[in-house]
Structure 1
Amino acid sequence: MAPENEQNNILPLESFTLTAVPASTHNIVWSPDAELAIGCDDCVFLFIPEFTTHPPSNAINGIAPRQYNDVALRFPTVEHRNPEINRPLFDLIKQEFPGFDYVPGGGGSGIVTSQGSSMNHLVALEWSPSGLGRMNRSILAVLTGAGTIIMYCEGASDGMNAFKVRGRNARSLRPWVAAWGVGAGLLVPFAEGHETQYTKECITAFAWARDIDSHGALLAYSNDDDEIAILSVQSKHDSNASPGDCGQWRVEEVGRFVAEGPHPRLDPTDPDYSPSGSSFSLSWSPWLKRGDSKTSILSYVSNNYVGFRQITTSTSHQHMATPDVEVKPADSNGVCVSLAPDAFVTWEDLIWTIGESKICRGIIATPSRVKAFQVPFDAEQYAGVATHTTDECGTTYPEPGDDGLTQNPITGLVIHPPSLSHTTTTPSYSLVRLSATHENDGWYQTNLPLPPNPEDGTVGPRWATEINQIVEHQLPRVMAYRPDLDTSSIGSEEGLDEDEEMDFELAEESEYDPEENFAGLDTEDQVHINRVRIWGMTASPGGGVTAAFASQYNATSYGRDTYAGVKCRVLFGKLDRGGDQSEETGFSLVMKKLSTEARMWEWMYGGGPPITGINTLIMEENEEQSALKDHFALVRRKQVCSFCDLPLKPVGKSSRCSNGHLFDTCATTNLPILAPGLSRTCSVCGSKSLKQEDLIAIAPELRDIVTDSISAELCGSCGGKFIN
């Protein structure tokens, strides 16, 4: 793929192919640290970003890395987990583990699911906020067709979870484990005051709340009885735990409410009955801070209704203790709208102040259409919405409109960082629809004023241009329907494997002459030979890059959806809104909220600002870092070579004795690292930092400074997370 926007001093984005069979939409998600997870029918692919310490301007000249290294983790999600996986949750809070006869699969009140489930395919996946996983990372929650959510996280290292990429250590994904789960026979404890009877639930949807504090996060899930449960999730990890250890987890149910909506359910035999429900029906707004508490609005989708319920939590609770969570008794707001299956809500990541009111905005995808909304946080009365029929509010049938779009559901919607200098009535968004063919041009839509690409004059991200080229490709009808013509790779030559490239070469060397074989036939009658399904779209943590997961099919012949027959690709593109991003879109404000990994990604690929402490051109230290190194200056002068006992002198980022023995230097304290196994490696800048326990052994008089000021998870140079 050609470099994109080289003049903007960023690295090119390369698409890649997957041998997979997508089975659900919204199946591509970015973590807060720029890790990419892609869900298929029975497995999940995990990709970790590859960072460089070279400025993008230098990397473009021949040493540019791929945005993701070649090593990816692929793990199956079809396994039915034993309830014993949750026993540590009960042991931690000294509750009795409930005993019952467990049958794999099955739960809830559905006719099929209550009896058992043989299919455990992937339904939805979502990353948690940063801080729940080991080394302050995120964990991945995966919802399967059996009605269970399994939490996957990085286990403790065995010392072999790093490998060399271009001469520097890189993080692998080998030690990932299933930590705990919920749904079906996987039960979690109830917090004090929320006790109820344990049941085998069938979970239909879930959503992580945005980060609330450094202690944990909230998880909401809905079941097939129209109940929504709120879980408090907290964790503690020992940096020196045995290999495979998933940490200590405190998971409790802290709230539950019924979310039926105001519209009564109709009998399936009723002429006005239409199916509803969504695996993506829950979504959290940003948190509004009020004194020592925070409030978020949880949106849920029911029968032709979107409800908004406020959730308030205290910010003063202790870590690994039950938080104080209040669920309002009724919806603060609600919207009656005609909804089809898989409707969803997306929130804008900003709370506006309009007069004396705090307002949050978002988009409802029906899912064939988009409807903007705004909800106030300061509603004083919680009377809810009175029960009524859909005929009274006019939502029994969808509004008339373009039939082509109403039959093409939205499979991905991204709300872009808002402009702080120019407010709009509707949030800035981009969306994709499931089917992309030459007959519909609405599969990609945006309300952004996108400037044309200076290279080819196209508008929109690179992946949209690629998909458009694929679906617009044509061949003469007499050639398109040849049984020996494989059109599935046309328009995507960079995704071909070695065998396919050899086939193309043999075809070029053959004596086949199309003019001779089709002489006298009509070659002006052209047909389109490709169609594309877009399963999902996601934006990077800073919003500077978007990615789409698509599969390509032959439009002139039947095909089979198998691992050998479907060609799936993950496509990337930079979001170029033109002008000064840092001023127009609030890009700088967004960057302040991001982790070092996310800011590094935006610097490399999204046009974000450079990161302090990453390369030799940007090595400024803040006052806190300089003061911390001053505390260890005296200890450093006493350090001697571990081979010849000669004094050590600093040489750049290393230390060396007069005999030439060279040692790496701790990025946090400037102390030489005199033996292997005493340090941890940063996954971003590659710097090494001494472990807390080894620093205390070297300088016991500075124990308080080590425990209070030095992190066991974050690099002292750039703030990136350690590999091991």
Structure 2
Amino acid sequence: MLGPLELPLFPSCYDCLAWSADGELAIAAGEYIQILTPKNTVGQSEYDSTQSPINNWHSTRFRVNVFTNHEWPTIDPQNRDNFSLGAEQSISTVVALAWSPPGLAKYRRCVLAVLTSNLQLSLYEPVGFQGKWTRVAIVNHTLGNHFKSFIQDEGMNLRKSNIRSFAWSPPLKLTATETAPYAVLPAESRWGWHLLSVANDYNDVIFLSVQRSSTELSTPYQASVLSVTHLPDPEGNYSQLQPSSIFAKILKSKVKILSMSWGPWLHASVENENSASGYLAVTHGTTLRVIQLDIDMTSRSHGTSPEPHPKLKATSKENTAAVCHKDLSGYHFSGPLAWLHTDDSPTVCLAAGILAGLLLIKFPKEHQKGARSSGRARLQELPFYEISDTEKDVDTQRHLGPITAILVTMDTASQNPVLYGATAGGYIGAVPFGDGKSEHSILPVPWQDQLDDIRERYDFDRDLGGLAVARAWGLTSYNGIVAAGITVHPGDMIEYRTAAEERLTIIISPDESKSDGVPSQTVDNSSDPQHRRDAVLGYILHFEENDENRQPLSSKILYATACCTIVESTNTALLYQAHKVLVRLATVTGADVADELLKCSISKNTIAPKSAEALDGPGGQMFERCDICGAGIDWYSSQEAQCATGHVFVRCGVTSLAIQDPGASKLCSSCGREYLNPDGIEPSESDLQNTCRTLFDAFDTCVYCKGKYQV
């Protein structure tokens, strides 16, 4: 089990931890975001157990409360309904953070969304190779532009642009079937659309589609509003107050949406798989509400379309049938939300935080699709107690700490979901599912002993006589590994703490199926590397045949792919296609490729470097030339190249070209394979650069292990 990580910081919000699908752990620390990445990259297969646990992580910290006047313009005071004085005067500390699903950022990585106390939601991603992070978009600008088109009042527009909460949806993937040979599914089928829901000060729930810009010259990211649903104040909000009191009236007028969570995407029918419905649960004051978003995904042609981001058609409405239960109005919802489901399960479960416990709401999946069947949903309350379930009786004291985080993760051994809940009083419990039981119970977490040891050590060091208390600030998971952020405090006095004494301890409980418990990036070895390489070669060789309307590929890459097929592949169909490509290149350019055509009938052959006359003759631009000495480059391997005078280079895993400029390459972060970077190609070679961008849009992860690229 990986040792606890002690960091010199203090969390600024509940649910302060977020772990991306790429293995980056983000921590909300006041004005900063701390990013931890395990040191298990290329060349480091395991951790150094002799060092402190924190030394086995890369650490990066960046500020999030620095805004330019363009990003956050000065706002003149408005009336009390539209102007948030606290937000205007705050120092813009982090109040929420979450990673997008993979595929949105550059190299198909994740984008970090950060909500600060000035009610601005920003998107961040790393730039360069030195671990620097930068703000790439502010979602409030999209809301302001949207509402400004039909709302003229500046104060109301400001209120509708302030963001109180947000949540990323699960990836919405387009169903596509490829029939063309060696075709590649479009990005919307491999990664899906990235949807973001936000709640503003007016209690509007806005659904947005976020996408990365296709050109580097414009803004890095673009967001468009899909649908807006306003939630009026329900009758059940703060029902425990006297309805006619002034306090109740004022309190209800200030109700906000402070928690939201996405459920699974459900397709309408087998015949119409490109229409889906998503369900967003929100905590509106003290009530639970569900909003249904219906999506119509535009059908696309086979293969990679020149249109990078087809538009979605979306409508949203409140779904009162989803949470229709006669006893639901009696609960006071005050915590975060989480959905539990599996693809083969007929039911969906929504876990919601209530006072001193959790509430599980179970209903069939078809109940979500609009069938109004009141009473079919089943409720189960899981109360928190100060002691374990085996020792409690009717007089056991309830644990009243507010819920700080709810986490749902999959147990890798049983492939069943597990629900975790944490409170500000240090209570952390686990609720396993999938055992066939209709009723569930809260069990101790596997790392409870670690938490107790940290609290007892703090108590002993300060001679508190057993009165030390712990607080849990967040839960997150990655590949079956769960991380919990806790702090410890004296329990019998007012605590005085300086910045130098701030400490956050992250307890990491690894997946039991892993022997070393080391978080690592997932490497896909499900298919043979030769088969994956043939898929790349076949895609390039059949590119123009699959779609004649597409812009043709660079002749230099087509020639390199044909040579790579001759040298590497034993697939007779690919060798035949390479012969056709070479004939077409010779016809168009007039180049002499007689030697290559002769060797297309012989698998795994070598091709001698071109002479100076051939390099300077007709079609010579498609042959490779050494940038150092000007000699031709021979073909004997798909991974290595050598010119006639002995200079050795690495070949790109996609384009098969020799990478002669180290600054024009990128690496796989998992296996270390080297690839050509389209951004490093000279602008004068626009044909080659455009072809590289087209190919890396199709093969946007490592050909050999499906790892993510890095510069």
Normalised to the residue count of structure 1, the TM-score between the two structures is: 0.66
Say which structure is richer in helix.
Answer: 2
- Secondary structure at the counterpart of residue 23 of structure 1: coil
Deviations 1:352-376 (A, max 9, x none): 453xxxx422311215311212244
Q: Does 1:670 align with 2:672?
A: no
Q: Which residue of 2 is the match for residue 719 of structure 1?
A: 706
Match of 1:8 in 2: none
Equivalent in the alignment of 1:429: 419
1:134–1:237 CA contact under 8 A, matched in 2 = no
Secondary structure of the 1:207 match is strand
Q: 1:548 to 1:657 in 2, by over 3 A?
A: same
- Describe the shift of the 1:279–1:710 C-alpha distance in structure 2 as closer, same or farther (beyond 3 A): closer
Distance (Å, rounded) in 2 between the aligned partners of 1:627 and 1:319: 22
Aligned-residue offset at 1:398: 12
Matched residue of 1:70: which SS?
Answer: strand
- Name the CA distance, whole Å, in 1 between partners of 2:535 and 2:505: 45
Question: What are the equivalent positions in structure 2 for 1:240-251 lying under 5 Å apart?
Answer: 241=216, 246-251=219-224
Distance 1:692 1:51 in 2: 27
Assess, with a 3 A threshold, how the Cα gap between structure 1 residues 303 and 719 changes in structure 2: closer, same or farther: same
User: Aligned-pair distance for 1:299?
Assistant: 0.7
CA apart distance, 1:315: 1.6
- The answer to whether the aligner puts 1:285 opposite 2:242 as a matched pair is no
2:428 paired residue number: 443
1:231 counterpart residue number: 208
How many equivalent pairs are there?
575
Tell me the residue number matched to 1:642: 627
Instruction: Name the CA distance, whole Å, in 2 between partners of 1:706 and 1:547.
Output: 37
**Any idea what the Cα deviations from partners look like across 1:583-621, whole Å, max 9, x if unmatched?**
xxxxxxxxxxxxxxxxxxx9973699853299xxx8554
Q: Which runs of 5+ in 1 are unaligned?
A: 5-12, 87-100, 163-171, 386-392, 437-441, 451-457, 488-525, 582-601
Give % identity.
17
Q: Alpha-carbon deviation of 1:530?
A: 3.6
Specify the alignment match of 2:484 in structure 1.
Answer: 548
- CA distance in structure 2 between the aligned counterparts of 1:175 and 1:284, rounded to whole angstroms: 27
Q: Decide whether the 8 Å contact of 1:346 with 1:363 is kept in 2.
A: yes
User: Does the Cα contact within 8 Å between 2:286 and 2:334 map onto a contact in 1?
Assistant: no
1:559 correspondence with 2:488 = no
Give the letter aligned to residue 145 of structure 1: S
Counterpart CA distance in 1 for 2:256 and 2:397 is 22
Distance, in Å, in 1 between the alignment partners of 2:152 and 2:78 is: 23
d(CA) in 1 for partners of 2:485, 2:67: 27
One-letter amino acid matched to 2:703:
G
Give the SS at the match of 1:37: strand
Deviation of 1:701 (Å): 10
Partner of 2:139: 181
- Corresponding residue to 1:368 among 339, 352, 356: 356
Tell me whether 304-313 or 226-235 shows the greater mean CA deviation. 226-235
Q: 2:583 aligns to what? A: none
The alpha-carbon deviation at position 720 of structure 1 amounts to 2.7
| CA pair 401-120 structure 1, distance change in 2 beyond 3 A | farther
Judge conservation of contact 1:124–1:279 (CA < 8 Å) in 2.
no
- Offset of residue 420 of structure 1: 11
How big is each residue's C-alpha offset from its partner over 1:428-468, in whole Å with a ceiling of 9 and x where there is no partner? 322222223xxxxx534444799xxxxxxx98444x33211
Is 2:297 aligned against 1:315? yes
Any conservation in 2 of the 1:338–1:366 contact (CA below 8 Å)?
A: no
Which residue of structure 2 lines up, in the alignment, with residue 200 of structure 1?
A: 159
CA distance in 2 between counterparts of 1:194 and 1:327 reads 21
Report the alpha carbon displacement of residue 19 of structure 1 after superposing the two structures with TM: 2.1
Q: Determine if contact 1:204/1:223 at 8 Å carries over to the other structure.
A: yes
Q: How far apart in 1 are the matches of 2:508 and 2:632?
A: 53
Other structure's SS at 2:657 match? coil
Matched, 1:136 2:108: yes
1:30 to 19, 24, 28: 19
The question of whether the paired residues in 1 share the 8 Å contact of 2:429 and 2:445 is answered with: no
The verdict on how the C-alpha distance between 1:330 and 1:529 changes in structure 2, with shifts beyond 3 A counting, is: closer
Counterpart in the other structure of 1:688: 674
Secondary structure at the residue paired with 1:361? Answer: strand
1:322–1:149 distance in 2 versus 1, CA, 3 Å: same
Aligned counterpart in structure 1 of residue 510 of structure 2, from 561, 574, 596: 574
**Residues 110/697 of structure 1: CA separation in 2 closer, same or farther (3 Å cut):** closer
Q: 1-side partners of 2:23 and 2:287: how far apart?
A: 34
Change (3 A) 1:607 1:362: farther
Q: 1:528 to 1:17 in 2, by over 3 A?
A: same
Residue among 409, 419, 424 paired with 1:416: 409
Matching of residue 103 in structure 1 with residue 39 in structure 2 = no
Aligned to 2:40, the other structure's residue is in SS state coil
Query: Residues 80-116 of structure 1: CA distance to partner in whole angstroms, max 9, x if unpaired?
Result: 564x449xxxxxxxxxxxxxx9517989837854894
Once the 2 structures are TM-superposed, how far is the Cα of residue 546 of structure 1 from its aligned partner? 0.5
Distance in 2, matches of 1:575 and 1:648, equals 48
Q: In structure 1, the residue corresponding to 2:656 is in which secondary structure?
A: coil
For residue 628 of structure 2, give the secondary structure of its aligned residue in structure 1: coil
Measured against aligned partners, the alpha-carbon deviations of 1:284-330 in whole angstroms (never above 9, x if no partner) come to 10111232211111111124431222111112176556521111354
The superposition leaves residues 18-69 of structure 1 with CA deviations (integer Å, 9 ceiling, x where unpaired) of: 222223211101122222111122222123344334695x767999997964
Residue in structure 1 matched with residue 339 of structure 2 by the alignment: 347
* Structure-2 separation of matches of 1:108 and 1:721: 48
Unaligned 5+ runs, structure 2: 174-187, 300-306, 386-392, 436-442, 542-557, 565-606, 610-623
Amino acid at match of 2:705: C
Write the deviation string for residues 214-262 of structure 1: whole angstroms up to 9, x where unpaired: 3642222223443322223233143xx37xx751414225222215334
Of the structure 1 ranges 260-269 and 36-45, higher mean CA displacement relative to structure 2 is found in 260-269
Tell me, yes or no, if structure 1 residue 123 matches structure 2 residue 98: no
Is the contact made by 1:613 and 1:620 (CA closer than 8 Å) also made in structure 2?
no
1:199 Cα deviation after fit: 3.9
- Asked if the contact 2:7–2:503 (Cα under 8 Å) also holds between the matched residues in 1, the reply is yes
Residues 476 and 482 in structure 2, CA contact (< 8 A), matched pair in contact too: yes
2:190 is aligned with 1:218: no
Q: Which residue of 1 aligns with 2:641?
A: 655
Q: TM-score under structure 2 normalisation?
A: 0.67
Using CA pairs under 8 Å that are at least 6 residues apart, name the structure with larger relative contact order, 1 or 2. Answer: 1
Contact 1:283/1:346 (8 A) holds in 2 = yes
User: Residue 279 of structure 1: CA displacement?
Assistant: 6.7
**8 Å Cα contact 1:282-1:345 kept in structure 2:** yes
1:612 corresponding residue in structure 2: 525
